[in-house]
């Protein structure tokens, strides 16, 4: 892939996403009509078919290592840890809806939803891709998404359960938020990492039938009842898993557009190099499973969440991640957030970080796309 292809893809990014300004600004070029989910799918598919991978970062634009946006209504949203290091914004920005279900003003990580809305729309207007995850509270116990004290939570919110009506109100609030994004196309990946047992919708916390019903109920409410057609639905269990396990809770081709997987590197007691080798093997195995499944089911696929907390490996980007994803066929990879209030909780470099240059080299690869 060369500069021309990169430039071309940049144009497609700009053209394919319709941004939330109904009147496109002159700076963004004249956008030919509303960006739709179909156009977003085409953009992702086009990138993947050329061997390109969009790079994404969670909560970019709203905060980073040691800083956060405070002027919710007026900040120009031009700061980004990724841009500070690589000179470009991430092509994909992720946000989390956790807290929207309660009608809170801020999400679980302190991001005001009004700011999130503005950042999502701004990013789309610049030609970028927006994705949402959701860590909702536990609707039965009142605890957080990680409260796994009861295995009756999913059951309790399905149509036959006592908590169903109240839960539909939670879905309504999440759908209201997505509806308020002025039609920008987004990727939504609810009920993620469901093959592990750390969220109340996880593997040991509900049956496959209950899980699928939860996912389908969510999809049906958003798509059929609310008519939200600006969403690409991503099913993103934790990996690595074999195809049979991946499919065991797959909600169905009609309500999934993208197959994703969340896999992190965890340093063990055997040193960084061993951890990197282990992680890269897991990524390769899982992405090859997804590649086959995506071909069979006619879906896109991606590495929906990944990273090495604290970037303790100085060559993680060029030495571990890049070789593991290069040529894999994924349309995008997203690394997790740079917390503004926890110095060690970051997954992308920032200005002044010791090994930032390794990320810059990664970002400069011809097949890695930033904005
Ligand atoms: C986790 C951590 C938490 C955060 C949650 C939702 O992986 O980053 O600190 O609250 O994601 O964003």
pLDDT tens, position by position, 226-254: 999 999 999 999 999 999 999 999 999 99
Is it the case that residue 1 has pLDDT exceeding 50?
no
In the chain, alpha helices (H)? 3-16, 37-49, 81-86, 113-125, 153-157, 164-179, 208-220, 243-248, 272-297, 322-325, 356-363
pLDDT at residue 94 greater than cutoff 50: yes
| Residue list, ligand 1 pocket, CB within 6 Å | 96, 108-109, 135, 336-337
| Ligand 1 centroid to residue 117 C-alpha, Å | 19
Residue bearing the CA closest to ligand 1, atom 3: 109
Check: CB of residue 335 under 8 Å from CB of residue 347.
yes
Q: Other C-beta atoms within 10 Å of 225: how many? A: 12
pLDDT value of residue 203: 98
Ligand 1 pocket: which of 59, 93, 109 to mutate (most atoms <8 Å of CB)? 109
| pLDDT at residue 135 in the model | 99
| Residue 87: predicted pLDDT | 97
For residue 231, the model assigns a pLDDT of 97
Residue 181 confidence (pLDDT) above 70: yes
pLDDT at 268 exceeding the cut of 80: yes
Average pLDDT, integer, range 155-169: 98
pLDDT in tens, 17-75: 433 333 233 223 222 223 799 999 999 999 999 999 999 999 999 999 999 999 999 99
**pLDDT-derived band of residue 358, with 50, 70 and 90 as boundaries?**
very high
- What's the mean pLDDT when you consider all of the chain? 92
Handedness of CA 137, 143, 146, 152 (dihedral sign): negative
**Nearest atom (ligand 1) to Cα of 345:** 8
Which residue has the CA at smallest separation from atom 7 of ligand 1?
A: 336
Q: Name all contacts of 337-343 with Cβ < 8 Å and 24+ positions apart.
A: 337/57, 337/58, 337/59, 337/109, 338/57, 338/59, 338/63, 338/64, 338/65, 338/81, 339/63, 339/65, 339/109, 340/63, 340/64, 340/65, 340/66, 340/67, 340/68, 341/110, 343/65, 343/66
Judged against a pLDDT cut of 70, whether residue 265 lies above it is answered with yes
Span 318-351, pLDDT tens digits: 999 999 999 999 999 999 999 999 999 999 999 9
Nearest residue to 339 via CA among 83, 110, 36: 110
Q: How far apart are CA 371 and CA 369, in angstroms?
A: 7
User: How many whole angstroms from 32 Cα to the centroid of ligand 1?
Assistant: 37
pLDDT in tens, 99-117: 999 999 999 999 999 999 9
Q: How confident is the model over 310-322, as pLDDT tens digits?
A: 999 999 999 999 9
């Amino acid at each position: 892939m060369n500069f021309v292809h990169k430039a071309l893809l940049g144009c497609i990014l700009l053209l394919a996403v319709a941004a939330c300004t109904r009147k496109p600004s002159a700076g963004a070029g004249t956008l030919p009509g509303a960006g739709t989910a179909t156009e977003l799918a085409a953009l992702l598919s086009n990138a993947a078919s050329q061997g390109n991978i969009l790079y994404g970062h969670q909560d970019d634009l709203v905060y980073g290592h040691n800083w956060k946006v405070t002027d919710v209504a007026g900040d120009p949203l031009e700061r980004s840890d990724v841009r500070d290091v690589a000179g470009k914004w991430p092509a994909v920005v992720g946000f989390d809806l956790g807290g929207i279900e309660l009608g809170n003003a801020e999400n679980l990580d302190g991001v005001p939803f009004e700011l999130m809305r503005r950042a999502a729309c701004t990013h789309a207007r610049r030609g970028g891709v927006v994705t949402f995850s959701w860590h909702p509270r536990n609707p039965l116990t009142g605890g957080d998404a990680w409260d796994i004290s009861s295995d009756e939570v999913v059951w309790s919110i399905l149509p036959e359960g006592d908590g169903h009506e109240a839960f539909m109100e939670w879905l309504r609030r999440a759908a209201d938020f997505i509806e308020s994004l002025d039609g920008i196309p987004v990727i939504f990946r609810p009920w993620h990492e469901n093959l592990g047992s750390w969220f109340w919708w996880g593997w040991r916390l509900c049956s496959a039938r209950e899980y699928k019903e939860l996912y389908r109920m969510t999809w049906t409410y958003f798509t059929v009842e609310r008519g939200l057609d600006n969403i690409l639905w991503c099913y993103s269990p934790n990996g690595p898993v074999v195809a049979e396990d991946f499919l065991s809770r797959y909600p169905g081709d009609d309500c999934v557009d993208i197959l994703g997987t969340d896999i992190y590197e965890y340093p063990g007691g055997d040193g960084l190099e061993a951890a990197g080798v282990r992680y890269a093997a897991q990524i390769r195995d899982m992405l090859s499973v997804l590649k086959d499944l995506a071909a069979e089911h006619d879906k896109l696929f991606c590495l929906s969440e990944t990273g090495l907390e604290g970037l303790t490996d100085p060559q993680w980007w060029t030495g571990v991640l890049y070789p593991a994803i290069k040529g894999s066929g994924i349309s995008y990879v997203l690394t997790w957030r740079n917390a503004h209030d926890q110095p060690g909780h970051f997954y992308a470099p920032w200005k002044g970080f010791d090994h930032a240059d390794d990320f810059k080299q990664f970002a400069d690869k011809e097949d890695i796309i930033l904005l």
